[in-house]
Amino acid sequence: MPPTLRSSIHGRKAVQQPESPEQIDNEDEDEDMQSDHEMISSEMEDDMIEDDYNDAPVQSSAQELLRPLQETADRVSRQVEEFSQAFDRFREKSKKLSGQQLWEETWKLMDTYATIASKSAGRVQATSADSKHAQKKRKSLGVTNAQKENLLLESDLWNLTLELLPCKSPHLLEDAHHAQNSALVELHRYSTNDEIWKAFMEVDPVANEYEALLEWLQERKRKTSPALKDVDLDLYDKSGRGDGLWEGGNIYTQAPIKRQKVTRAHPGPLDPAEDMRTIHFRKADSEPLVTQMDPDAALRQDAMLEVEDELFESSAWHASWELLRRGSSPEQYRNWWQDRNELWRALLLRNSSVQNDPAINKAWLRIVNLASNRELAKLCRELADSRDLATDYENAVYGILSGSYSAAAPVCKSVDDHLYSLINSLLIERYDQFIFAYHERLETPALQDFIPSPSTSREISNYVQSSQTDKTTKAEAHQPHKYFQSALMSGDLAHFFLEMGHAAAQMAHLTGQSKTLFDNDETQVSECAQVAAQDEDVIRMAAHLQLALQPLGLLDQAYEENASVMENNIINYLGLLEQHAKYSLLPLYASKVSAQRQPRVLGRILSKVTVPKERDTQMRLMKSYGIPVYRVIYTICDYTRRSWAMKLNDRGEALKAAKIIEYKDKIVRVRTGFIGEMHDDEQALVVQAHEWVNYIDMKNWGMACWLMTALYKTLLLSGKLAAAKSLSTRVELAQTSLKVTGMNLSLAAMVAETPDEDGDAEVGGDATEDGHNRLAGPNKRRKESKPSHLLAKETTNRSALAEQSLVWAHLELLVQAMDTLEYWQDLADSVDTLPRNDPKTTKTAKKELGQTLQAVHSAMQPLLDHGFLSSAMDEQEDHDLRHIREHYLPECVLGYNSALYFGGHAITRQHLVQCMELAQQIAQNETLIGAFVASKRMQELVTAFAHDSQALLRANEHGTSSMRGRSGKRSSLGGERGGRADIWQVQWTADKDQ
């Protein structure tokens, strides 16, 4: 942990520099491991350097062209991984910490982030020394220096958070509070400037923060600016000094003064008498010249320097500004001006006080020395506000020395310049207040305590707001990293996170990227926030900073009032992880989202995860982070189903059940390929998403049943039978129930078990029901039991679990029955392509037809049971099941009858007898009768059975050895048509709906 006192006098953690290539080469082997693509690209580039660029192979050029994109992807991927690892370690440690220990651990986390960013910036620097040809290629892809500068800035920004965090710590605030009670006691008339400064920093936490900001701005200026040279200064090239050092001061004005002294034989300084103005003036514009060469002569005499010297003065004051802006030490001041014979300027910049204490940060002497130079400080303020100075840079220098932002603002060319000048003035203002209290205490010894004034950081926030609209700084202020920096420096991070949260939702809906994760937000925010909410680096930085500060309590009020908006920043980062396919990191960050939004966010992202191994990983991670898995699974399934159903409805495809049968020559038959294959990717995604129910827990089995029945109903009512078929095979009730509950809850398994075995199958809890009650209908069960929804009931009782699964089982059996009918018709249609006069083929075909018809018979039996699809769990489900019954049961029954009819002619007349048995079953089944009556298809059923009866009568007339076809003619296989079955004369083809 850094020292509690953040004073520059006592030092602080050095700002980390991006690592050199040599340092990077010494990293761990895992971090240095290059991908195959990187290694190949590197080898290609080396070959191209040796050869002429115009003759380079096309493949090599392509590799080199794509290399920047790969490097960017690798850089982002590595940063994402490293940040997540650091945050995960912090999350685990922070669970057991509180108070100052938590602050120390958070400070270490900021240090880790700064190290990661520094390494990333170092890697970019290490790879930036490419060939000119490679650089040209990279530029064509938009890889600019701005991107590299952003990486360096990110590294510096994490270092800034590292410096600012202790300023908010309870330990520092507590120490400052205690120090305020006796702040002035140890100070006396002979206290040195650094002792006064130290006492000031001990009592004022806000001053510690301002000092950290100023130091960071000075460091940034030094790092991002080239070495200061004369030619870099405004107007220097017009001052007539050439490219050498400044020697002789204002030499162009000295010459006429010397001439006047020689002419007048004047041994001392010229008297600026009124008559001198008539003979001592500039030739360029006849303005009076100064008669003396001290620095104040022009202002004191209200006279001018020669034009070249005025330009020289302007450049000199510009240089002074630059030296102050870069935080140069007194030694650097002295060296600069001593080389130019202007040593007095160096004394001015440090406020002319001798300090030999090596512990002092020499860059701050100009502020520290204000304690003993009150008159000089007063004069600097007057000069800063003076309108008589020749150049704005002179006002600016005096403004920095005295703490006048208005005097420095005209020469500020960037947001950082303005912030530097403003924060400098705020710090000096607070120091002046302490110095005033110090002097007051010297007059009144009874005064001992000092209470600093409230924070004035609001002025920084106000400037940040104005910089976003000022035409001179607007472009810079809108840069995402600069927006993040401004938020750090203003200290109003809560406002920053809220604005970013609003912007994240807005831009998601505006761009369509990750919009399903957010509710639409119409709150007005700045353009800066909207731009930053789309920048990947700032999204990552904002999310991690927010997650680090939240446990410290610094954002409690913002979370209390706008929790959902604050969470948008984390969710925005989750969307970014989704874009980069970092699915394994999702649960870590989702665990920091409220319990209400976790399922929605994770569910909508994980719905796209279809690989079983990845699903297993997600399940393990979600459980380890305490995320309610069953709620996520519910969202995955429910969201995909609802989204797909809405698209169907928008396209007008919803609620249009599929036709199973058709009529050919007034004879009913199954439509060929009425299910077909599933080629729709959206349907496939919905089905695959419901495979997640295999991961649900036993207590939430009712939820799994609800999800599956909901999708089955949607698919059947919209006629998407191929998807329903896929669902029945991919998420089969028997296998899923066995995996989730350890029991096979399919209808076939339940029927096969004896009541005693069923009674012994309970696992515990709800195993007190009688055997007859277990088999009772759900409506009766609901009346006899507690009023809660059956599917919401948590149970481990086998019969209760089976009852929850009943509708799922019925819908699955319905789809399986339709699947067997389709297969039967495909087989029946295929007989037309077989050899007509091959007895062996005929025998084989009959055998296969018989086996398939038996499968149809078995699949149709559950549909003929009493109460099939009549066990609705609620009114809405009853409505849906009624529509399914009234459409699909008549279709399936008529299709089944047509299969028996065909089998009675092609295989054996016994199948015609089964047609009569089918008629008897239907007559005794109220559910089936009701379905035919409600769908107004009873006439079709009666007609079909009439055809069955006629066929059976004809078959009986001709005996069992030969059966006649429908036309009564002899078949080509021998005998009179109609005397025996002739499957080769059956040529049913698909026709339009009847």
Integer Cα distance of 733 and 615 in angstroms: 20
Cβ atoms within 10 Å of 692's Cβ, excluding its own: 27
Q: What are phi and psi of 202, to 5 degrees?
A: -70, -30
Q: For the chain, how far is it from start to end, CA to CA, in angstroms? A: 83
In the structure encoding, which two tokens stand for residue 406, read together? Answer: 């208005």
Q: Is the dihedral of CA 104, 109, 112, 114 positive or negative?
A: negative
pLDDT score of 342: 81
The DSSP letter of residue 982 is -
Q: What stretch of H or E contains 669?
A: strand 667-670
CA 662 to chain centre: 52
Q: Are 746 and 706 in contact (CB under 8 A)?
A: no
How is 672-693 classified by DSSP, letter by letter?
TTSS-----HHHHHHHHHGGGG
Q: What stretch of H or E contains 53?
A: none
Pick from 623, 614, 586: which is nearest to 602 by CA? 586
Strand 661-664 versus strand 667-670 pairing type: antiparallel
> What residues pair up with 668 in beta bridges, in sequence order?
663
> What residues pair up with 667 in beta bridges, in sequence order?
664
In the structure encoding, which two tokens stand for residue 362, read together? Answer: 């020499």
The DSSP letter of residue 11 is -
> What residues pair up with 780 in beta bridges, in sequence order?
none
Side-chain half-sphere exposure of 27, counting CA atoms within 13 A: 17
Helix axes 58-94, 99-127, angle to 10 degrees: 170
Integer Cα distance of 890 and 174 in angstroms: 82
The dihedral over CA atoms of 692, 697, 698, 702, expressed in degrees to the nearest 10, equals -50
pLDDT score of 445: 84
pLDDT score of 786: 41
Q: Are 305 and 298 in contact (CB under 8 A)?
A: yes
- b/e map of 203-227 (b: 16 or more CB within 10 Å)? bbbbbbbbbbbbbbbbbbbeeeeee
pLDDT score of 295: 80
Q: What stretch of H or E contains 798?
A: helix 798-804
Q: Are 240 and 463 in contact (CB under 8 A)?
A: no
pLDDT score of 750: 59
Q: Give the model confidence (pLDDT) of 107-125 as tens digits.
A: 999 999 999 998 888 877 6
Q: Which residues of the chain have pLDDT under 70?
A: 1-72, 125-144, 230-232, 234-249, 274-275, 278, 351-363, 653-655, 748-790, 792-793, 832, 835-836, 956-994
pLDDT score of 364: 77
Integer Cα distance of 964 and 980 in angstroms: 4
pLDDT score of 509: 93
Q: Which residues have CB under 8 Å from 102's CB, separation 6+?
A: 94, 551, 552
pTM for this entry: 0.81
The DSSP letter of residue 406 is H
pLDDT score of 25: 41
How is 476-526 classified by DSSP, letter by letter?
HHTSHHHHHHHHHHH--HHHHHHHHHHHHHHHHHHH-TTGGGS--------
pLDDT score of 299: 80
- Residue 836 exposed, middle or buried by CB count within 10 Å (0-12, 13-18, 19+): middle
Integer Cα distance of 581 and 863 in angstroms: 45
- Which amino acid, one-letter code, is at 342? E
pLDDT score of 832: 67
How is 183-213 classified by DSSP, letter by letter?
TTTS--TT--HHHHHHHHHHH-HHHHHHHHH
Side-chain half-sphere exposure of 703, counting CA atoms within 13 A: 22
pLDDT score of 653: 64
- Residue 652 exposed, middle or buried by CB count within 10 Å (0-12, 13-18, 19+): exposed
Q: Are 7 and 198 in contact (CB under 8 A)?
A: yes
- b/e map of 552-581 (b: 16 or more CB within 10 Å)? bebbeebbeebebbbbbbbbbbbbbbbeee
Cβ atoms within 10 Å of 665's Cβ, excluding its own: 8
pLDDT score of 963: 38
Integer Cα distance of 740 and 23 in angstroms: 53
Integer Cα distance of 344 and 295 in angstroms: 9
